[in-house]
Amino acid sequence: MKKLKLRVGIGYDLHRLEENRNLIIGGVKIPYEKGLLGHSDADVLVHAIIDALLGAVALPDIGTLFPDTDPKFKDANSIELLKKVYSLVKEKGYSINNIDSNIIAQAPKMMPHIPEMKENLAKTLELDIEDISIKAKTKEHLDAVGEKKAIEANAVVMVYNA
């Protein structure tokens, strides 16, 4: 009988808010006057989840797999990158048990968009919505996030050998 093996990974991401960019978080385009600056679509939530998954199965980080020096990842859809990472997780013999995450933004409000974010992640990662937690936090007007200059996210995932 195969012994159950549980592994945990953590991920973090932060991107600067800039004019003339779309704000995409959790695969959802959020109406706002600024968007996140990055080589890809700069989806901080998905990037944090990607790094958490990669860490859980002891693979290199997002920047190693999808370097910002590679033009093929210019304006990449982060949900598509997440699909590739999920394939790697499955190749290593693991399934995702659950995801717990935070989006830290002073503005705009994230709560109205969280149900759609959870749907996107559940569909992409073959999870039940109940296995995904996304919480919205602010920085109480402290630091770059609190001054509406950036948005950050963190995530913890648990995987198990399938």
Domain that holds residue 103: 6-161
* 114 within domain boundaries: yes
Tell me: pLDDT of 1 over 90. no
Report the pLDDT value the prediction gives residue 161, as an integer from 0 to 100: 95
Residue 74 lies in a domain: yes
Alpha carbons 149 and 161: distance in angstroms, whole number: 40
Q: Is residue 90 part of a domain?
A: yes
**Domains identified in the chain, total number:** 1
Burial of residue 21, with CB atoms counted within 10 A of its CB: 0-12 exposed, 13-18 middle, 19 or more buried: middle
pTM of the predicted protein model: 0.97
pLDDT score of 106 more than 90 = yes
Please report whether residue 1 resides in a domain. no
| Whole-number Å distance between alpha carbons of 138 and 127 | 27
Residue 77 lies in a domain: yes
What does the pLDDT read at residue 8? 98
**Structural domain contains residue 143:** yes
Distance of CA 93 to the CA centre of its chain: 21
Contacts of 74 (CB under 8 A, 6+ apart): 39, 40
Beta bridge partners, 9, equal 157
Examine residue 58 and state whether it is found in any structural domain, yes or no. yes
The CATH code of the domain that includes 57 is 3.30.1330.50
Does residue 79 register a pLDDT over 80? Answer: yes
Q: pLDDT tens-digit profile of 48-61?
A: 999 999 999 999 99
Q: Is residue 111 part of a domain?
A: yes
